Amino acid sequence: MTKEQVLRTLQAHPDAFVSGEALSRELSVSRTAVWKAVDQLRQEGYPIESVPRRGHRLASGSDVLSAEGIRRYLAHDALEVRFFPTISSTNTVLRQMALENAPAGLALVAGEQTAGRGRLGRSFFSPARSGLYLSLLLRPDTPAAESTLLTSCAAVAVAEAIESLAHVQPRIKWVNDLLLNGKKICGILTEAGLDCETGRMSYVVIGIGINTRPPEGDFPEALSPIAGSAFGDLPIPDLRNRLAAQVLDRLLDYAANPGSDRLFEKYRDRLMVLGKPILILSPGRDPVPALALDLERDYGLRVRDEKGVEQVLHSGEISIRVQDA
Ligand code: BTN
CA dihedral angle for residue 110, residue 111, residue 112, residue 116, rounded to 10 degrees: 40
Q: 324 CA to middle of ligand 1, Å?
A: 25
Distance 223 CA to ligand 1 centre (A): 15
Shortest-distance atom of ligand 1 to CA 113: 14
| Cβ-contact 248, 172 below 8 angstroms | no
Kindly list the protein residues whose Cβ atom lies closer than 6 A to any atom of ligand 1: 89-91, 113, 116-119, 122, 124, 133-135, 177, 187-189, 207-209
Going by C-beta distance under 8 Å and a sequence separation of 6 or more, which residues neighbour residue 279? 287, 288, 289, 290, 320, 321, 323
Region 67-270: CATH code: 3.30.930.10
Phi then psi dihedrals of residue 180, to 5 deg: -135, 130
pLDDT tens by residue, 72-110 = 899 999 899 999 999 999 999 999 999 999 999 999 999
Residues of the chain with pLDDT under 70: 316-318, 324-325
Distance CA 34, CA 260 (A): 49
Architecture of the domain delimited by 277-322: Roll (2.30)
Pocket mutation for ligand 1, best pick of 82, 97, 133 (most atoms within 8 Å of C-beta): 133
Which tens digit of pLDDT belongs to each residue from 157-175? 999 999 999 999 999 999 8
| Residue of 117, 188, 204 to test ligand 1 pocket, by largest number of atoms within 8 Å of CB | 117
Q: What is the pLDDT of residues 25-41, one digit of tens each?
A: 999 999 999 999 999 99
DSSP 77: T
> What are the angstrom distances between the C-alpha of 116 and each of 93, 113, 178, 309?
11, 5, 17, 38
CA of 23 to the centre of ligand 1 (A): 41
Planar angle of CA 196, 209, 12, nearest 5 degrees: 130
Q: Check if the beta carbon of residue 69 is closer than 8 Å to that of residue 238.
A: yes
Which SS3 state, helix, strand or coil, does residue 120 take? helix
pTM of the full structure? 0.90
CATH topology for 2-58? Arc Repressor Mutant, subunit A (1.10.10)
Domain borders along the chain are 2-58, 67-270, 277-322
Q: Is there a common fold for 2-58 and 277-322? A: no
